[in-house]
Amino acid sequence: MNSTPSKLEKHVSLSLPAWFDAEEMRFEFSPGDLDGAMRLAIALSRANVTHQTGGPFGALVVQLETGRVISAAVNCVEAQNCSSAHAEIMALSLAQQTLKTWNLSAKHQDVDLTLITSCEPCAMCWGAIPWSGVKKVVCGATKDDAEAAGFDEGARPATWIKDLNDRGIDVLTGVLREQAAKVLKDYAESGQTIYNP
């Protein structure tokens, strides 16, 4: 029996939760304020848990030196029925759409762009970073924190930081780790879905 649909879908569209525009969150941080940028990512992850609209992860693409937020996003896996709709992928994609380029590298921008993420990237998001064009990745919680909450982070190599460094991408992890990890812990304890296959 053939279960193939008679008409194949030819369009993919992913959206952030409805609360995102209404949330009274100011997407601002002082130039060079790494902790301030991370606080925004953690606040997004917390809001996604509070609104029960997805996993406990938030991410932004920013110009650290100027304090400019290019894009901000949360995990939308469940809401969008899309396993690749992680916060990092959403933030990178929105930045590319905003700047009208698939390459966020300095040769296309006046200032290097940084991915700020409330948790270290899983195997998929780690794999997407080199092709995005960002020049720095700043993480809050660790892979261990995510796995302690029950999430499957995939087969990311132990050399993941060196691998990104070798491609000219700086990595800093553990920024406000305790605050970021608490969102993961609270999510797990809330009984919301741990969406591993």
Active site residues: 88
65-95 burial, b if ≥16 CB within 10 A, otherwise e? eeeebbbbbbbbbbbbeeeebbbbbbbbbbb
136-141 and 114-119: which strand pairing?
Answer: parallel
> What tokens were used for 98?
């905003």
Distance CA 105, CA 155 (A): 26
Per DSSP, the chain holds a count of helices (H) and strands (E) of 8, 5
136-141 and 170-172: which strand pairing?
Answer: parallel
> What tokens were used for 180?
């970021």
Under 8 Å between Cβ of 29 and 41? no
Distance CA 50, CA 195 (A): 17
